[in-house]
Structure 1
Amino acid sequence: MSHHFKETPENAITQSGIARVIPCKELDIGDPIKWLSLGLRDAMRTPILTAVYGVMFAVIPWFIMYLVEMTGWHLVIMPAIVCFMLIGPFLAAGLYDVSWELEKGHKPTFMHSLRAMRRNAVNEWGFGILLMVMMIFWLRVASLIHALYPSNIETTLESLMPFLVLGSIVGAGFTLAMLFVTAFTQPILMERKVDLATALLTSVNAVWVNKVPMLIWGAIIFTAVAIGFVTGFVGFIILMPLIGYASWHAYIDAISTKRARKYD
C-alpha cells in the first residue's frame, strides 16, 4: 500500500467520548480513481454476480416509479423510499462481501454474499433506520421550502432564484451530511463487530480528515446516481455494483487495520 499510516490527529470527533473512533489513514487526491479501477476489476472477475446485484439495484427504483405512476405519487413515494433506504444497505453489504471474498482469494458466491447481510444485522438495521430518518427529515425540509415559496408571483427565473438557491444550499448540506455518515459506516459494520455509534464516528472522522479526496469521491457517487436516473435506472445495473465494490476499496484504504491488507 502506498499510504503512510498516520495516527489520526486529535479533533472534536475523536475526543467526543461518545464512542471509540477507529484510526484512519491519510488519502491522496487520486485515490478515488484507483478505487474505481479496483472496483471495475472486481466487477470483471465476477460478471454474473455483478449483473444480479446491478439488476436488483435497477429494478427496485424502477418498481417504485411504476407504483407511483399507477397510484398517484403521494401515497406510495414515502413507503417506497423507506423500503429502498432499508434494503439499500443490505444490497451494498452483499457487494462488499464479493470484494472481500476476492481479497481473501476465495470464489465469491451469491449465497455467501446474502449471508453477509446477517453478519451485524442489528446495527445494519439501525443504520438503515438512521438513513430513513435522514431521508424523511430531508423530504420535510424540501416541502417546507416549497411551502415558503409564494405561489402568486410570476414564475420567471428571477423570482425562482432565491427559492432555487435556498433549495440547492440545503440540498448540498444534506448531501454532505449523508457523505460523512455513509462513507465508511457500513463496511465497518460488516467487517468488524462494532456498534453503530463507533462505525458512524469512525466514518465521520475519516471523511473529515480526508476532506478533498472524499469530496471527489462524493462527486463521483453523485454523478453515478444522476446518470442512473437520467438513463431510467438502466445505468444502475453497471454503476451501482461498481460504486459498491469501489466503496469497499475506499474503506480498505481509509480505515486502519491491525494487520496489513493483502490487496494490491
Structure 2
Amino acid sequence: MSHSFKETPHNAITDSGIARVIPCRQLSLGDPVKWLALAIQDMKRAPLNTIMYGVIFALIPWLITYLVATTGWHLIIMPAIVCFMLIGPFLAAGMYDVSWELQKGHKPSMAHSLRAMKRNAVNGWGFGVVLLIMMVFWLRVASLIHALYPPYLDETLSDLWPFLILGTAVGVIFSLILLFISAFTQPILMERKVDLATALLTSVNAVWLNKLPMLFWAGIIFISVVLGFLTGFLGFIVLMPLLGYGTWHAYIDTIETKKPRNYV
C-alpha cells in the first residue's frame, strides 16, 4: 500500500537544540480522511481481527461500568483505569500489527499481532507509565478544581460556569499534551528499535509541525469516543479498530525512514 511523498519540513526540536528526533513529512488538512479510508480497507481485509480487537476495547469500559454499578465501589474505577493505561499501548500495538501485515501483503493473525506486543516491550511499558503519570496528575488537578468550589453556592449554571470554564480549559490543555506525546509514539516503538525519549520527542515534533491536520485528527478521535459512549460502548467495536488502523497509516504517512519501505 503506497503513500505519496510529502515535503519534509524543518525539525522543530532539532532546530531548537533540545534533541535529535526522527524527521517527519508535511501533512495536508485532508490527510486524516485518507487515513480513515485506508483503515476501512484494512477492516474489510481483516474482519476477524477487527471484530476481536473491537470487542476487547468495548468490553473494558463496559466491565468498569458494570463493576461500579453492581458493587457501588467507585474506588474500583482508579485501579481499573490504571490497568487499562498500562495495557492500552500493547493492545494498540496489536491493531497496528494488523495494518502492518496487510501492507506487507501478509495475512494478519491474532497470534502474530499478540507477538507484536513484545516488540520493544520495555519502552512500551515505559510509555504506559508516562500515560499513567499524566492521568494521575490530571485527576489531581481536577480534584483541586472541585475542592475550590465553595460549598455555600447553589448548583446553578450562574454559579457553576466559572468552574466549568476552568475545568474545560484544563481538560483541553491536558488533551493537547496527550495528543503531542502519544500521536506517533507507540507505532514508532513498534516498528523501530529506539528508546522512549526518541519516540516521544519525534511525536511531539511531528504534531507541532503539522498542527492543523493533527488537530483535525484529534477531533475525529474525540467524536469517535463520544459516539462510543453514546452507544453504550457498542460503537467501540467498530470505532476503536478504525482509529487503531488509521493511526498506523498516519504514522506511515508522517514519520520518515532513511530508506523506502519496500515490503515484500
Q: Same fold (TM over 0.5)?
A: yes
- Counterpart of 2:60 in structure 1: which amino acid? I
Q: Does 1:28 find its partner at 2:28? A: yes
Which runs of 5 or more residues in structure 2 are unaligned? none
The 1-side partners of 2:16 and 2:88 are apart by 29
User: How far off is 1:71 after superposition?
Assistant: 2.6
The 2-side partners of 1:219 and 1:262 are apart by 32
The 2-side partners of 1:15 and 1:61 are apart by 42
Q: Tell me if the contact between 1:19 and 1:197 (Cα under 8 Å) persists in the aligned partners.
A: no
* TM-score, normalised by the number of residues in structure 2: 0.95
Which runs of 5 or more residues in structure 1 are unaligned? none
Q: Does 1:14 find its partner at 2:14? A: yes
Aligned to 2:171: 171
- Cα RMSD of the aligned pairs, angstroms, is 1.4
Q: Mean Cα displacement is larger for which, 67-76 or 127-136?
A: 67-76
The 2-side partners of 1:234 and 1:51 are apart by 11
- Counterpart of 2:5 in structure 1: which amino acid? H
Q: Tell me if the contact between 1:3 and 1:26 (Cα under 8 Å) persists in the aligned partners.
A: no
Q: Does 1:180 find its partner at 2:194? A: no
Q: Tell me if the contact between 2:11 and 2:23 (Cα under 8 Å) persists in the aligned partners.
A: no
Q: Tell me if the contact between 1:252 and 1:261 (Cα under 8 Å) persists in the aligned partners.
A: no
- Counterpart of 2:159 in structure 1: which amino acid? S
- Counterpart of 2:194 in structure 1: which amino acid? V
Aligned to 2:142: 142
User: How far off is 1:19 after superposition?
Assistant: 4.6
Aligned to 2:233: 233
- Counterpart of 1:9 in structure 2: which amino acid? H
The 2-side partners of 1:97 and 1:2 are apart by 21
The 1-side partners of 2:155 and 2:58 are apart by 35
Aligned to 2:219: 219
The 2-side partners of 1:177 and 1:244 are apart by 19
The 1-side partners of 2:16 and 2:84 are apart by 32
The 1-side partners of 2:219 and 2:165 are apart by 19
Aligned to 1:71: 71
The 2-side partners of 1:32 and 1:187 are apart by 16
Aligned to 1:154: 154
The 2-side partners of 1:192 and 1:176 are apart by 25
Q: Deviations over 1:200-232 (max 9, x none)?
A: 000000000000000000000111111111111
User: How far off is 1:23 after superposition?
Assistant: 0.1
The 1-side partners of 2:130 and 2:10 are apart by 27
User: How far off is 1:260 after superposition?
Assistant: 2.4
Aligned to 1:51: 51
The 2-side partners of 1:184 and 1:109 are apart by 23
Aligned to 2:86: 86
- Counterpart of 1:158 in structure 2: which amino acid? S
Q: Does 1:105 find its partner at 2:105? A: yes
Q: Does 1:2 find its partner at 2:15? A: no
Q: Deviations over 1:231-260 (max 9, x none)?
A: 111010000000000000000010001222
Aligned to 1:206: 206
The 1-side partners of 2:131 and 2:111 are apart by 26
- Counterpart of 1:3 in structure 2: which amino acid? F
User: How far off is 1:73 after superposition?
Assistant: 4.2
Identical-residue share of aligned pairs (%): 68
Q: Tell me if the contact between 1:206 and 1:254 (Cα under 8 Å) persists in the aligned partners.
A: yes
Aligned residues: 261
User: How far off is 1:16 after superposition?
Assistant: 5.8
- Counterpart of 1:2 in structure 2: which amino acid? S
Q: Tell me if the contact between 1:39 and 1:249 (Cα under 8 Å) persists in the aligned partners.
A: yes
User: How far off is 1:3 after superposition?
Assistant: 3.5
Q: Tell me if the contact between 1:27 and 1:210 (Cα under 8 Å) persists in the aligned partners.
A: yes
